[in-house]
Amino acid sequence: MPLNILHLTDCHLFRDADTELKGVCTRAAWLRAIAAIDPQFEQIDRLIVTGDFTHDDLPETYRPVRESLARWWPKTRLTIGNHDVRAGLWEHASDRLEQTADRLVFRDSVGGWSLIGLDSHRPGEVIGELGEVQRDWLDHQLRRAPGLPTALFFHHPPVEVGSPWMNEIALADRAELGQLLDRHPQVRLVVCGHVHHESSTLWGTRLVLTTPSTAVQFVPVSTTLEVDSVPAGYRHLELHEDGRVFTRVVRLV
Ligand SMILES: [Fe+2]
């Protein structure tokens, strides 16, 4: 049986349940997404959410996130986004994360795959960075399991997704990460958020995917931030033990 994963990202919640971001009530949109995936619960092995849980950067905004995921919590894995707060995320999700140096990461071995969540948060900035200490930690993890197909999850994409303004706020140390991953061909897949639209890019031998936000959508391949009218969405991933990956984006219409 393949490993079935749902990837949700960039819900951008506020403490106030009614607050809107660019005309979208993010709390209502998030709850709609959770309701939409509910019928799939038994078939799904993991629910992975790659950050920007909050938009107001308030620690208490993680409480409704946790509450909304109560049923999914044992299957849930998380990574931090640029809008998040490490202390708040740790306070409400320390049972789904581990600390390495000053970063919040996860490691999960399931269905013949290694899933690793990384922390690309740079406090107070929109751009992301893994940093040398975390890259060394990742190198160590990958050296321990060279034969296991591996997927990485983190917020800021390490590739250009077609929009110059977005490339300037993506992953700063993407070149260093690329050099590291060249030594570990078992890394087949990198899954990110941040860009608020769907994309798929070949990066060396790896497939890099981004997934729509559960709330506000951005126009892909644009020169400036422009809100898109396409529906919100999430991604389904089917990972096979032999390393094959099947995926599709599901729109919340
Ligand atoms: Fe975001």
Output the domain CATH number for residue 224.
3.60.21.10
Coil, strand or helix at 168: coil
Residue 101, pLDDT score: 86
User: How far apart are the CA of 203 and the centre of ligand 1, in A?
Assistant: 22
Are 149 and 2 in contact by the 8 Å Cβ rule? The answer is no
Question: How far does the centroid of ligand 1 lie from the alpha carbon of residue 183, in Å?
Answer: 30
Tokens, residue 60:
């208490």
Distance CA 201, CA 245 (A): 14
Q: Residue 57: its pLDDT value, please?
A: 87
Put residue 221 in one of left, alpha, beta given phi > 0 → left and psi -120 to 50 → alpha.
left
Cα of 52 to ligand 1 centre, how many Å? 5
Ligand 1 centroid–CA 149 distance in Å is 28
pLDDT of residue 228: 95
Strand partners, 117: 106, 153
What spacing in Å lies between the alpha carbon of 145 and ligand 1's midpoint? 32
| Residue position matching structure tokens 């990574």 | 79
Residues in the chain predicted with pLDDT less than 50, given as ranges, are none
Distance 176 CA to ligand 1 centre (A): 24
Rounded Cα distance between 207 and 200, Å, is 7
Number of domains in the chain: 1
At residue 219, the pLDDT reads 94
Q: How far is the CA of 54 from the centre of ligand 1 (A)?
A: 9
Q: What's the DSSP call for residue 252?
A: -
Render the burial of 224-240: b for 16+ CB within 10 Å, e for the rest.
eeeeeeeebbbbbbebe
Judge contact between 68 and 99, C-beta under 8 A. no
Q: Residue 76 Cα, ligand 1 centroid: separation in angstroms? A: 19
What predicted TM-score, i.e. pTM, was given to this entire model?
0.97
Residue 62: enclosing H or E segment and its boundaries?
helix 62-68
Tokens (6 digits) for 139: 């190198």
Containing structural domain, residue 12: 3-251
Neighbours of 166 (CB within 10 A): 24
